[in-house]
Structure formats: structure tokens, C-alpha cells
Structure 1
Amino acid sequence: MEIAGKAVCAFLLLTVIKLRRTEGINRVSAYLGHSAVIACPNMTNITMVTWKISPKSGGQCTLAYLNATKIERINCSDRINWRSKPKWDQALEIQQVEMADEGNYTCEMVNADGNFHHHYHLTVLASPRMALYCDDHGNPVCEAETVKPAAEIWWVPESDSTPRADSHDNGTVTVVSRFTAHSTSGKNPTCIVSHATLNETKSIACFPSHRHLVLFISIILGFLIIITFAAAIYYLKLHGYRFCHKTKPPDIIPTQSSQDDTVEVEPYTTYVQKENVIYNSVSDLTLRQNLPQGRSPAT
């Protein structure tokens, strides 16, 4: 009896193992903002395929394909869907991956041979970025954008400034460090960035900015040009007025005055002459009437 009991237990154990086969956790990664595909091994005679997703944040999502006809979606984002028709392709596709998509993904497949589970852990990576440039004051500035945790920045020679870290909604963090050492000993400052996704070194040579001095000089020159231009206009106007007064012909006014006088005097002279003629005629007639007969007026 004891041997028979052990045989039955062994048979049941083998049956359970056959019906439920679980693979180890497979680690996959995807870049932030890109599409990711998690493949579930293809099997024949499938009666059900189910993706169970436990993301880093938010509730669990279930995507199921039942009896080769029915598709169910429970609490899944529109970005998460089958890559193709689940009847032939059971792979899962995530569009525009976000940091919140990190987490555990389980593909469960059922056919005549039993249940099969495949576990995946998705890690979202952000394309690291490093930038080194000179600011408006001629100081080197080093930036490093990576996924959390923040990158570490060092300067050679050593800088006196403290890096500033800014976190973003997409899960990335940007570290900014400004080089403010008093002396570089003739060497160009070198920025060193260290992170799990980025290890890079860059050097740059920046020169002191004379921006304020140039602006001040430009303002002074502008005032001088305006003053010089105004003085030149005033001088030309003043000089032009004297030039016209000196070169004006002196006989223009007398000539015009003489002509005007002539025009005005001529009518008067003609009138006087006519009056004299009339007067002389009347006088002669009067004398002739008063003289005795036979006498003529003296001429």
C-alpha cells in the first residue's frame, strides 16, 4: 500500500508539472519613447493566451485571447496591444514606452498539453545625453541627462560649484554643473560624467566674456554719433544761410523797387500832363476873349 501511495503521488506531481510549466524570469529592456515588443513563444492548438502586466505604477493590466475568437482588455492602456493577430502571433507590443511601463510581464498560454507561463521583467532606459558648452560669462557648463539615479559629474581641475539636479515627469533627471575654479593652471577644464548608462569625458576652452564692455562701448559710440550728426546739421544750416545772404545780388531789390515806382508814377505823370494841357487851353481861350479886337495874345 505504501508503495502504491508513493506511485500515485509521483504520478500526480508529474501531471502537475506537465500541466503547468513555468520558465525563469527573462529580462528585457526598452528605450524611453520607443516601441518595445515582448515575444511569447509560438505554440500550436492554442485555446487561450493571456498577458498579465504588473507595471511599476498603476493597476494590473490583462490582455486575453480566448477560444480563437474573443479578445478581452482589462485596465490596459491603448499603447499596449497585440503586435499582430494573436491567433498566429502572441507577441505583445508597447508603443511609446514610458517609465511607468517598467514592471513584470507574464505570458500564459493554454493548449492540449497544459498551461505554460513565461515571465519577463521590463526595464525602461533613457538615451543618455551629455553636453558641454560655455555660458554668457565664459564659464564651462556640463550637463548630463539620464534615467534615475542622477549621473555624477566631476571637473578636472576641481570646481568650486555644486551640481544641480532637476527631475522630469518622464523619469529622467538632468544634472547641471558650472565650472567656477579660480585657476585652471593653463589647462582646459574637463568634465567627467559617470552613470550606469553613460560614462563620458569632454574638455572645452572658454574665454572671458566682454559682453557688458562691448555693450557699454556701443552705447557711448551711439551717443557720440548722434551728437556729431546733430552738430553737423546745425553747422550746415547756419553756414548755408550766411552763404545765401552774402552772394545775393545787391541790385535785385533796387531794380525791382525802381520798376515798381515807375509803374506807380507813370499814371500820375500822364494825368498831370493832361491837366496842364487842359489848363493851358482854357487860359488861352480866356485871354483871347478879354483882349481888344485886333490884338493877339503874346506868346
Structure 2
Amino acid sequence: MNETIRDFLTTKRLASMQAFFDAGIKRFSKITLEELRRAMAIVEKENTQYVEDEFSFDDRRILVWTKDKSKIEQECILHFHSGGYVTGDELTGAQFCQALYNESGRTILCPDYPLCPEVTIPEIVDWSLKLLLDLKKRGVKRFILTGTSAGANLVTLCALENAKRSDQLDIKEIHLITGHYQSDFDSDSAHRFESGEESGLSKSMLLKLLDYAISDRDIHLQDPDIFPLYSDDLSLLPRTNIYVAKYDVLYDDSIMFYEKLMREGVQVSFKEFSSGFHAWTNYVLECDELLNYAKNNIFNEILKDNK
């Protein structure tokens, strides 16, 4: 791992969140969802400085970055935040959206989608597609969807569900960053990053998040409405771009998903960040090495047909 990035992960982030996560790793079976949400809210409050504008949909906040606040462009980028479906909000993805806007000047939205266990993952998918339909009524004709971790899972499920609907939206492409696609964490990367000290997410933390998000994980182990790796409809996906972090408990997830998309004939690309850790895009404005990688390997990919 790049030494600057390693220092960032193990020192600078310690000031705001690592102390909590260190305790969480040691006693995660005892930590409550309310404790987790409070801790993450404290961390993400720092990102209010990146809020440009906002509007409300279904009583939930949608952050907006745009040149012309009087209209939304015909093609719109939506970014879905990480958080294991049980924590995080629109501020979680604010640094990524601000950095992409700085690079592109494109219209970018980051929604505060509803969370589990208050709703189910299929209900979050339905809510997200309703948001896209509302944006279509506002004049958006094409969508580019991006997502990190659980957000990447959500983006994939949205694209699959959209492809089956009669009122199909034009989802041009999807961009999946350190994504979570399956439920079997007996992989090499899951064991390699069991502690989470280098990866930003441990196997024990991931499993606990899933227990909060899914009422009975054993029943839903291969549920395609939750884990897209098990879907029989992957050939319906639009152009898909997968970005994997080498230091990530979910590293093997991305490899398995990429290989299955290749077998299904999906137009798919794969990029590996050899110094990346889980959900690193949430911090791109705090570390120049992260920002430069995002510019050269993710932002360029999102914008290559749109400059």
C-alpha cells in the first residue's frame, strides 16, 4: 500500500472515526445500531462543507451539484452512498460528488435513501426508481448511476429492476466502487482482512451490518433481490464499470461479479486500485493520492463519452 495512503488510513482517520471502529471490531457483537448511526453521523457532519444545494423528494434530502440551479440537465449522474444499508446518508458521498463536480461541472445528485431495518432492500430499490421517475418528469432523459459498497449493490439492483419494467428508464451505465454483491464471506480477502485494520472494513463488521439489514440472513443467503451475484438476469445490465480496492474484505466479491458479468456477455470493465481500501472514495478530498487516483481512473471513465 502507498505509504501516504497507509498513513492517512491509520493516523488522520483515527482522529474522527478509527477509535470507534477499533472498539467496534473488538466488541462488535455488543454494539447497537443506534450507537453505530450516532458515530457515523458525527463523522459525516464534517462533510456539510461540501453541500452545494439540495431539494426534497418523499421528505428525504437530495444533495445537488449543478451549474444552473434553475434546471436539471438532460443527463444526470446519481451517486448512492455506502453504509451497509443501515447507516450513512447523503453526506457520506458528499466528498466524491464534490470532487467529481469539480472535475466535470456535470449535474450530480446524492440521495438520502431510506435504510434498513426500517424498510427492506427491495423497498429501497423501489424508492430509488421512484426518485429516478420523478427526475425524468423534471426533464432528465438519461442516467449514469454510481455507488460505493452497499451503494454499488443498490445501483446494480436498480438497473436490474429497471430493465424488467414497462416504464423503463434510460440508465446509460453504472459504476460500482468497492461493491458488495454476494453473501458467502469464506473468501481469501475476507479472511485476509478479518481485523479491518488495513481495509477499513472487517469481516465481523460486515456480517454485523448484514444482520442489521436483513431479517434472516440464513434465509436470504442467495436471494437475487438482495445479492446481485445470484441473479439470472445479469445480461440485462447496461455498460458496467467495476472498481476494486486491493485492501478490501470485499476484494473477491468484485472479481467474482466481474467474471460472471463477462460470462453473461455484459459490456464490463474492471480496474484495481493497488493501494485502495474499502469505501476509499468517501475521503477523496482529504488525501491527494486518493483524489488523483479517482480523477485518473474513475472520473475519466464516467466522463469519457460526455466531455
TM (norm. structure 1) is 0.18
Greater C-alpha Rg: 1
TM (norm. structure 2) is 0.17
Higher-helix-fraction structure:
2
Which one scores higher on RCO, CA 8 angstroms, separation ≥ 6?
Answer: 2
Higher-strand-fraction structure:
1
